[in-house]
């Protein structure tokens, strides 16, 4: 059966072309989209900025116009009232000259005056007249309206009197008003007093009553009144509308303001035109974006046909540390990455297009690898993968782990397999070294166990065997001398039997400890147990321990044989060190119950030199001994026994005897705790 295959060079070229085409097209589309979005954002920002600028410009222009109108109004009022003051000063001079006959004026002649706007405008000047200097305080002297306003309200009289005194004292024109009517309501009338001085002497005041409403109506032109409404204010309001502004009437002696309201606003045609132009451009841009978006959609539909191949290429590129190999259903290599080439020592040109047997297959394993290849072709690999060996180009073998996945076309049809190849040579080498180390550790453990058993037996049997030897030698000596009878022989032999039994028990305990057998804990009364064990020490040692035990039983869960071994070690160690403390040798054993912690506390104290701080850190370690010729196993075995019973052992200095104090804490038996509960 003939199989048609695609040349490897063409297939690898298609893969590269696929990558370049997809990257180039996608990048171009993304750049164009970002450009369009940026242009749209710029246009929107420009429109918003333009609108804000035009609104701000219009507001600033309106404010500037209102400020200019207010300034013009203030200056116009000041100008015309100053002109009125000048006109009254001329009238004052003419009046004084007429009254004295100076200047060619007779009593019956009326003065001629080229007056300003306020003087000429009808209805502005309500009353006028001259008051000589000597009659200023007499309200009956003066113009016709003077006496009426004076008596209309007390505030009027006070303001008018202050106006005259101010004009005389300051030698300038003064105002008073607004005048109040009989009901206390303000009118639009103000009085103006213009003083006249003849050769430095005050001659009198020329007075006029001015209607401010008529004056403002005369001052303001018609074009101004078409778009504005003018209102006279006696006080400055706290707030005003946005379309209103205020102007101060700077008339000395008054506190008057004019509020001007805009009645008609100019249409904002220019901003609207700019806004419409911006909307027009924005609409054109949106239409262009819609057309470009349709083009993008078409391009994306074309790119969707290549997504499977692009995903494959991306996956291979992202797995650069793992060897990747693609091969078709006929077993021909389609693709390898650089990591795979470095792994087997062959270049991509040497591998692509090759069929089985592959050049990196070891010659002696071709049959095995062929079967593995057939299994992969049939069902792929499991989740754990397949471990095989490849041969590097230089000849050394490589342990690899292979995972296979189906290689499908865009239509979902399988065209081959995609392999991920992981070099596990270091891991396999590590596993082999670990196995060798484990064998060495087990052998070392067996040697340590043998040494531990031997040292423990030597340490523990030393005392009972020595005592047994002493009793045997003494017995032989007395038997040879014939100085012992049967009655004395019986207790000596009994003691030797007990020592032999004790040595046998030690051998059993050490044997059980060396085998790491399970403990045989049982409820043990520590009081009775300690009495039985401590009574044996007076037979083999001159330093007889003393003890203080509770009157009631203290129950713990413990292995009796191991605990006897523990007590013998601690008491024997204390007896060895007690004579070296510089005082009479003593060994004291105590037992108490800690009800709060639920623990039994056993303490063994001696009069020896104690244990310093440095030795406390290592005193329970194996093969550490402070005795001359000691093996350093006694306290290490004690700690192992205590920890096996979930207890704790520690050493400190006893404050009474001055030597070492070994303290063992053991949990109380649970059943006993329940019985003793009230």
Integer Cα distance of 515 and 449 in angstroms:
9
Integer Cα distance of 209 and 142 in angstroms:
11
Cβ atoms of 566 and 556 closer than 8 Å: no
- Specify the pLDDT at position 513: 56
Q: Classify residue 274 as left (phi > 0), alpha (psi -120 to 50) or beta.
A: alpha
- Specify the pLDDT at position 666: 93
pTM passes above 0.75: no
What percentage of the chain reaches a pLDDT higher than 70?
A: 78
Residue with tokens 């003087």: 119
Q: Using the 3D structure, point to which of 470, 491, 517 is the last residue of a domain.
A: 517
For 591-620, letters b (16+ CB in 10 Å) and e give bebeeeeebbbbbbbbbbbbbeeeeeeebb
Q: Is residue 314 part of a domain?
A: no
Q: Using the 3D structure, point to which of 423, 457, 489 is the last residue of a domain.
A: 423
Q: Is residue 662 part of a domain?
A: yes
Q: What is the 3-state secondary structure (H, E, C) of 113-161?
A: CCCCHHHHCCCCEEEEEEEEHHHCCCCCCCCHHHHHHHHHCHHHHHHHH
**Rounded to the nearest 10 degrees, what angle do helices 8-100 and 307-318 cross at?**
90
The verdict on 199 and 246 lying in the same domain is yes
Q: In what order do the strands lie in the sheet with 660-667?
A: 546-548, 587-594, 599-606, 660-667, 648-653
Write out the residue range of the structural domain in which residue 326 sits.
Answer: 319-423
3-state secondary structure of 562: helix
The verdict on 451 and 563 lying in the same domain is no
- Specify the pLDDT at position 511: 65
Query: Which residues contact residue 62 at a Cβ distance below 8 angstroms, ignoring those fewer than 6 apart?
Result: none
The verdict on 501 and 540 lying in the same domain is no
Q: The CATH number of the domain where 217 resides is what?
A: 3.30.450
Determine the average pLDDT of the residues in 163-191. Answer: 86
Q: Classify residue 162 as left (phi > 0), alpha (psi -120 to 50) or beta.
A: alpha
Q: Is residue 611 part of a domain?
A: yes
Q: The CATH number of the domain where 435 resides is what?
A: 1.10.287
Q: Is the pLDDT of residue 181 over 80?
A: yes
Q: The CATH number of the domain where 608 resides is what?
A: 3.30.565.10
The verdict on 486 and 548 lying in the same domain is no
**pLDDT-based confidence at 32, cuts 50/70/90?**
low
The verdict on 417 and 440 lying in the same domain is no
Query: Which residues contact residue 598 at a Cβ distance below 8 angstroms, ignoring those fewer than 6 apart?
Result: 667, 668, 673
Q: State how far the alpha carbon of 416 is from the alpha carbons of 56, 318, 333, 353, 412, in Å.
A: 71, 21, 10, 14, 12
Q: The CATH number of the domain where 345 resides is what?
A: 3.30.450.20
Q: Using the 3D structure, point to which of 460, 488, 517 is the last residue of a domain.
A: 517
Q: Is residue 344 part of a domain?
A: yes
The verdict on 394 and 439 lying in the same domain is no
Instruction: Give the HSE-up count for residue 619: Cα atoms under 13 Å, Cβ half-sphere.
Output: 21
- Specify the pLDDT at position 266: 60
The verdict on 231 and 370 lying in the same domain is no
Residue with tokens 């060190």: 577
Q: Is residue 536 part of a domain?
A: yes
Q: Specify the DSSP class assigned to residue 241.
A: -
What's the full length of the chain, in residues? 678
What sections of 516-633 are H helices per DSSP? 526-534, 560-577, 613-616
- Specify the pLDDT at position 323: 84
Q: How far is CA 631 from the centre of its chain?
A: 59
Q: State how far the alpha carbon of 428 is from the alpha carbons of 422, 439, 674, in Å.
A: 12, 17, 57
| Cα dihedral 288/294/296/298 (nearest 10) | -150
The verdict on 324 and 419 lying in the same domain is yes
The verdict on 633 and 541 lying in the same domain is yes
- Specify the pLDDT at position 605: 94
The model's pLDDT over 613-656, given as tens digits with 9 standing for 90+, comes to: 777 777 887 777 777 656 667 788 888 888 888 899 999 998 88
What sections of 222-263 are H helices per DSSP? 222-227
Integer Cα distance of 644 and 646 in angstroms:
6
Q: Is residue 472 part of a domain?
A: yes
**Tokens, residue 55:** 């609104």
**Number of structural domains, the chain?**
4
The verdict on 121 and 184 lying in the same domain is yes
The model's pLDDT over 351-366, given as tens digits with 9 standing for 90+, comes to: 888 888 888 888 888 8
Q: Is residue 458 part of a domain?
A: yes
**pLDDT-based confidence at 106, cuts 50/70/90?**
very low
The verdict on 232 and 162 lying in the same domain is yes
Integer Cα distance of 286 and 619 in angstroms:
88
Q: Is residue 608 part of a domain?
A: yes
Residue with tokens 């239509």: 411
Residue 463 CB coordination number (10 Å): 20
Q: Is the pLDDT of residue 382 over 60?
A: yes
The model's pLDDT over 646-675, given as tens digits with 9 standing for 90+, comes to: 899 999 998 888 898 999 999 998 754 444
The verdict on 458 and 578 lying in the same domain is no
- Specify the pLDDT at position 665: 94
- Specify the pLDDT at position 243: 61
């Amino acid at each position: 059966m003939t199989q048609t295959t695609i040349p490897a060079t063409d297939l690898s070229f298609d893969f590269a072309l696929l990558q370049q085409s997809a990257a180039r097209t996608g990048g171009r589309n993304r750049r164009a989209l970002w450009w369009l979005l940026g242009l749209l954002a710029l246009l929107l920002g420009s429109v918003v900025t333009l609108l804000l600028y035009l609104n701000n410009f219009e507001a600033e222009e309106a404010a500037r116009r209102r400020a200019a109108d207010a300034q013009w109004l203030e200056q116009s009022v000041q100008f015309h009232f100053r002109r009125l003051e000048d006109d009254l000063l001329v009238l004052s001079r003419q009046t004084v000259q007429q009254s004295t006959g100076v200047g060619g004026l007779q009593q019956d002649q009326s003065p001629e005056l080229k007056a300003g706007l306020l003087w000429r405008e009808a209805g502005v000047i309500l009353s006028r007249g001259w008051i000589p200097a000597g009659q200023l305080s007499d309200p009956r002297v003066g113009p016709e309206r003077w006496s009426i306003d004076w008596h209309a309200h007390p505030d009027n009289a006070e303001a008018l009197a202050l106006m005259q005194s101010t004009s005389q004292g300051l030698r300038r024109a003064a105002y008073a008003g607004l005048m109040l009517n009989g009901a206390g309501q303000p009118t639009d009338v103000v009085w103006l007093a213009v003083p006249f001085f003849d050769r430095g002497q005050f001659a009198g005041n020329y007075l006029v009553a001015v209607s401010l409403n008529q004056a403002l109506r005369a001052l303001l032109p018609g074009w101004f009144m078409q778009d504005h409404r003018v209102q006279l204010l006696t006080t400055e309001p706290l707030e005003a509308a946005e379309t209103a502004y205020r102007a101060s009437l700077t008339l000395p002696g008054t506190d008057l303001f004019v509020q001007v309201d805009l009645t008609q606003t100019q249409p904002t045609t220019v901003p609207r035109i700019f806004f419409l132009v911006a909307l027009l451009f924005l609409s054109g841009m949106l239409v262009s974006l819609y057309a470009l978006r349709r083009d993008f959609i078409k391009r994306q539909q074309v790119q969707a046909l290549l997504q499977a191949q692009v995903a494959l290429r991306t996956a291979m590129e992202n797995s650069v540390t793992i060897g990747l190999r693609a091969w078709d259903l006929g077993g021909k290599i389609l693709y390898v990455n650089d990591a795979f080439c470095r792994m087997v020592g062959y270049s991509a040109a040497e591998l692509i297009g090759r069929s089985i047997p592959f050049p990196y297959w070891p010659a002696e394993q071709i049959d095995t690898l062929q079967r593995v290849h057939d299994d992969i072709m049939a069902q792929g690999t499991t989740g754990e993968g397949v471990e095989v060996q490849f041969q590097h180009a230089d000849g050394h073998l490589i342990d690899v782990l292979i995972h296979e996945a189906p290689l499908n076309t865009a239509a979902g049809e399988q065209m081959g397999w995609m392999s991920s190849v992981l070099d596990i040579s270091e891991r396999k080498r590590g596993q082999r070294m670990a196995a060798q180390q484990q064998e060495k550790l087990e052998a070392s453990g067996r040697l340590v166990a043998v040494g531990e058993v031997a040292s423990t037996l030597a340490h523990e049997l030393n005392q009972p065997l020595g005592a047994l030897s002493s009793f045997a030698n003494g017995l032989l000596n007395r038997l040879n001398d014939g100085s012992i009878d049967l009655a004395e022989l019986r207790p000596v032999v009994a003691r030797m039997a007990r020592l032999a039994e004790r040595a046998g028990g030690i051998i059993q305990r050490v044997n059980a400890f060396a085998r790491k057998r399970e403990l045989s804990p049982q409820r043990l009364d520590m009081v009775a147990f300690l009495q039985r064990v401590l009574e044996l020490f007076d037979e083999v040692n001159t330093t007889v321990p003393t003890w203080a035990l509770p009157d009631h039983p203290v129950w713990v869960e413990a292995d009796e044989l191991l605990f006897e071994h523990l007590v013998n070690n601690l008491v024997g160690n204390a007896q060895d060190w007690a004579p070296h403390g510089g005082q009479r040798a003593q060994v004291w054993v105590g037992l108490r119950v800690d009800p709060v912690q639920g623990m039994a506390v056993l303490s063994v104290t001696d009069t020896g030199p104690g244990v310093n701080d440095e030795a406390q850190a290592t005193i329970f370690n194996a093969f550490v001994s402070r005795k001359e010729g000691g093996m350093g196993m006694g306290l290490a075995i004690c700690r192992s026994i205590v920890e096996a019973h979930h207890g704790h052992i520690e050493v400190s200095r006893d404050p009474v005897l001055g030597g070492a104090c070994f303290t063992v804490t053991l949990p109380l038996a649970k059943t006993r705790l329940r019985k003793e509960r009230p």
